[in-house]
Amino acid sequence: MQWTGVPFDRSGEIAIPGALVPVLVSHDNNHAVYVEPNVWIRHPV
């Protein structure tokens, strides 16, 4: 919560300004997860 400036005052998805995806918050488990989607491509150098 400190680095986002956004209160995590409820469970569920919390939108963070500038983030690619919302943070998933679980108050019951005292846990929050942020996972950005990505794509890995293999190519010759």
Write the pLDDT tens digit of every residue in 1-45: 678 889 999 999 999 999 999 999 999 999 999 999 888 999 998
Give the whole-angstrom CA distance, residue 40 versus residue 38: 7
Q: How far is CA 3 from CA 7, 26, 44, in A?
A: 10, 18, 38
Q: What is the pLDDT of residue 3?
A: 81
pTM: 0.72
